[in-house]
Amino acid sequence: MIPRYTRPEMAKIWEPENRFRIWLEIETLACEAQAELGVIPKEVVPVIRAKGNFNIERIDAIEAEVKHDVIAFLTSVSEFVGPEARFIHQGMTSSDVLDTCLSVQLVQAADELLADLDMLLESLKLRALEHRDTVCMGRSHGIHAEPVTFGLKLASFYAEMQRNRVRLAAARENIATGAISGAVGTFANIDPFVEEYVCGKMGLKPEPVSTQVIPRDRHAEYFCALSIIASSIERIAIEVRHLQRTEVLEAEEQFTKGQKGSSAMPHKRNPILSENLTGQARYVRSFCIPALENVALWHERDISHSSVERYIAPDATVALDFSLRRLNGLIKNLVVYPDNMLRNLNQMKGLVFSQKILLDLTQSGVSREDAYRLVQKNAMKVWEEGKDFQTELLADQEVVGALGEAKIRESFDLNYHLKHVATIFKRVFGE
């Protein structure tokens, strides 16, 4: 990832120092378990624990020659440990180290992302409660439909992000597995106790059947969860981008002092944050397909998954971490214009109450087909001639004959559409 979109806390997880430190801990814990089993002398374990270290430049130099990263690492470690290093990696294979380490890193990344989600959920909740009764236009197909509240929009986003949190927590649980089972996963040269011991110390569960790698359906689930979160971020970003359009202007990203919107047009205030989030979402989603394709490996293993995971694991988690933080700031500082919301709602001169009139007519005994015809006939005058919907209905003798003037006027009531907002909020927030 480029520094522009990288938070140090997430980047640290994917730096070589952290990766090799996890490798060293896995190898050292395996030695502890092997010593308990009597496979290696107990007295070598304190030496390995005390002297165990590595040099990243040295690892890179060795790998350039041997073309194998784990061998290069083990050689570097042996240069620090000395003769006792011959007991390191007993009965293990490279994937035992690589896959178990990747699981640890993905768990670490998930914990960062879960914290990000918690912050975003809190911001969404606060803004939803703030605007629970802020009336605005609900739209379908981008066209005015019926009244909602801005708080309901935010409550919808909150509920979706809650589901995303559940998904990510489940993906974290399922990726938190380790494998120390040796070549082709049969434990032929290493006791299953070693796997149980290492995994227990690393906060993982032993993989039930690891072949020689941890099955990649676990990783696919993880990256699909990230992709869904990214799509939810884009859904919110798209809403903000529409609401900030000049002819709509119901909400707007905060425009800070000294900020400039265009190199050519000094008046511009562009939705750059939400546009950026739309692009970030496309990027994160792109990693879903290679993760799914990694599921199908040859026989007990191949390494066709390895190169792509070296890209997508850091890139997807770093990009999503940045996106969640950026979205949180956007929501916290979002400028809302209730007056513009009402102005837009009234722009169609009462058409938003067409369904209520339709239902009133059917309740009064008019067939649905005739009721639809009567309502649409008067609605088209608003669209095409700029008439007022209520005025046209009151001038229509068929409608007045079925409903009466008082009932028609009564049906143009915003509160009718908002009477269950509190119920929805209780479902979402439990308050």
In the structure encoding, which two tokens stand for residue 56, read together? 């990243």
- How far is it, in rounded angstroms, from Cα 177 to Cα 423? 41
- Residues 6 or more apart whose CB falls under 8 angstroms from that of 399 comprise 357, 361, 374, 378, 393, 408
Q: Cα angle at 286 between 240 and 277, to 5 degrees?
A: 20
Q: How far apart are CA 65 and CA 313, in angstroms?
A: 26
- Exposure string over 42-58, b if 16+ CB within 10 A, otherwise e: eebbebbeeebebeeeb
Q: How far apart are CA 249 and CA 338, in angstroms?
A: 10
Q: Tokens 């009234």 label which residue? A: 346
- The residues assigned a catalytic role are 141, 262
| HSE-CB of 6 using CA atoms within 13 angstroms | 13
CA distances from 404 to 150, 169, 391 (A): 33, 57, 13
Q: What angle do CA 153, 155, 156 make, to 5 degrees?
A: 65
Asked if 149 and 131 touch (Cβ cutoff 8 Å), the reply is yes
Nearest to 251 by CA among 276, 263, 269, 233: 269
Report the alpha-carbon distance of residue 205 to residue 175 in Å, rounded.
Answer: 9
> Which amino acid makes up residue 426?
K
How crowded is residue 313: how many other Cβ atoms within 10 Å of its Cβ?
A: 21
Give me the amino acid identity at 152.
L
